[in-house]
Amino acid sequence: MEQPRKRAKPGRNPAPAGRTSRPRQAEVARLAGVSQATVSLVLSERVDGKAATISEETRKRVLDAARSLGYVPDPAARRLAAARNNLLGVFSFTATFPTDVQHSYYPFLVGVEQEAAARGYDLVLFTGSSRGGAGAAGPDALSRVRLADGCLFLGRHVPRAELKRLVADGFPVVHLGRREELEGLAWVGADYVSASRDVVAHLAALGHRRIVLVREDDDAPASADRQQGFLSGLAAAGTAAGPDAVLRCADPEREMTAERVRALVADGVTAFVAEETDTGAAWRGLSTAVRDAGLACPADVSLGLLGSPPADLAAEPVPMGFDIPRHRLGAAAVRLLSALVAGEEAREPLVPCEFRTGETAGPV
């Protein structure tokens, strides 16, 4: 005998066939072709009745997408979203929280604090003494940031799965630094591509044609941007990038030896540039190797740094390169995060870096 079909409960849409997990706002946003902030605004308007400055066409697209996916708001997430307490989190993926004024991240935090105060927010700093420690991995590593209304993240390497989960849940998140590889993650960043291209253009104007980039051996977006700018600078100068144009080093302070630098110079290399990272290893390794090789800078070889020098090398000649507007980036991150917390659509443009003439580059 044919069994009677179960009827769907009124007011709810059945999930698509074969689906076992709850649809998320990020999926609704993709299907509707809008941002996740727009989805959040439309759905929260449907719940609390507040008017939103969104066109009727966009609203209908979002609601149709939500219905087709069987989206049902998470009541726990809704309660958290309603409990605004004017707190913004800051989470650093470093071994310890960068409170030392010499740390390269410290100026970011100054900009964050000043902009947050101007907007009426207090900060919650998630430090290495917290459960799990800063930079910890695992499914619960970032769960404590939900104590705040939204959170800023900064660090060269991040746990992608945990950040992706926060974004999918609709929790306001902003990363300080480009992170386009994580779909839906809002970020603010510096224009490292243009700045690195300008450094190469300066060396080319001094007559340099064989230039080598020294970088760490990973796929951090900041490193990729600097390399892209370096290579486009070579192309603009009419210089072909040879097989040794980019040296990726797992440990630059060990791999960049005096012998290696001498061999490259003997082969025609007249200038080197290094990327800046939070470790400072590329610049430290390169500058030490040049000094140990007995080469005078800039008389024998020119040097450039794609960023600012490590604090422990501040007494040395100022390298040619560019300065990262860390204070402005921190403020931009807070502006973007506060907009997301308010359910508004927002985007911050790339912040330009400032070229630095320095004392380490001269004519061939």
3-state secondary structure the chain: CCCCCCCCCCCCCCCCCCCCCCCCHHHHHHHHCCCHHHHHHHHHHHHHCCCCCCCHHHHHHHHHHHHHHCCCCCHHHHHHHHCCCCEEEEEECCCCCCCCCCCCCHHHHHHHHHHHHHCCCEEEEECCCCCCCCCCCCCCCCHHHHHCCEEEEECCCCCHHHHHHHHHCCCCEEEECCCCCCCCCEEECECHHHHHHHHHHHHHHCCCCCEEEEEECCCCHHHHHHHHHHHHHHHHCCCCCCCCCEEEECCHHHHCCHHHHHHHHHCCCCEEEEECCCCCHHHHHHHHHHHHCCCCCCCCCEEEEECCCCHHHCCCCCCEEEECCHHHHHHHHHHHHHHHHCCCCCCCCCECCEEECCCCCCCC
CA angle 216, 127, 166 (to 5 degrees): 80
Give the pLDDT band (50/70/90) at residue 345.
confident
> Exposed, middle or buried: residue 136 (CB in 10 Å: 0-12, 13-18, 19+)?
middle
pLDDT at 215: 97
Instruction: With beta carbons less than 8 A apart as the criterion, state whether 49 and 6 touch.
Output: no
When pLDDT is averaged across residues 149-166 and rounded to a whole number, the result is 84
pLDDT of 128: 45
For residue 264, what pLDDT band results from cuts at 50, 70 and 90?
A: very high
Confidence tier at 158 by pLDDT (50, 70, 90): confident
Long-range CB contacts (within 8 A, 24+) of 311-316 = 311/102, 311/103, 311/104, 312/102, 312/280, 313/280, 313/283, 313/284, 313/287, 316/287
Cβ proximity of 252 and 282 under 8 Å: yes
| Average pLDDT for 270-286 | 92
Placement of tokens 């590593």 in the chain:
141
CA distance 316 to 252: 19
pLDDT of residue 9: 39
Which of 81-95, 100-114, 262-276, 314-328 is most confident? 262-276
Whether the per-residue pLDDT at 314 is higher than 50: the answer is: yes
Which tokens in the block code for residue 53? 């400055």
Within a 10 A sphere around the Cβ of 163, how many other Cβ atoms?
A: 23
pLDDT score, position 11? 37
Q: How many CB atoms lie within 10 A of CB 297?
A: 20
- Asked if residue 140 has pLDDT above 70, the reply is no
Taking 90 as the threshold, does the pLDDT of residue 206 lie above it? yes
Gap between the Cα atoms of 284 and 251, Å rounded: 11
Question: Which of 49-58, 139-148, 221-230 has the lowest average pLDDT?
Answer: 49-58
pLDDT at position 78, please? 53
Q: What is the pLDDT of residue 10?
A: 35
pLDDT at residue 100 in the model: 63
**How many whole angstroms separate alpha carbon 222 and alpha carbon 360?**
23
pLDDT digits (tens, 9 = 90+) for 78-123: 545 555 788 999 988 765 566 666 666 788 889 999 999 999 999 9
Give the predicted TM-score (pTM) of the model: 0.72
User: Is the backbone peptide bond immediately before 159 cis, with ω within 30 degrees of 0?
Assistant: no
pLDDT band of 139, cuts 50, 70, 90 = very low
pLDDT category of residue 179 using cuts at 50, 70 and 90: confident
- Residues 3-46 have pLDDT tens digits of 443 433 333 444 444 554 667 788 888 898 888 778 877 877 65
Can you tell me the distance from the alpha carbon of 58 to that of 237, in angstroms, rounded to the nearest whole number?
Answer: 47
pLDDT, averaged across the chain: 83
Sheet containing strand 211-216, edge to edge, reads 246-249, 211-216, 271-275, 302-306, 320-323, 354-356
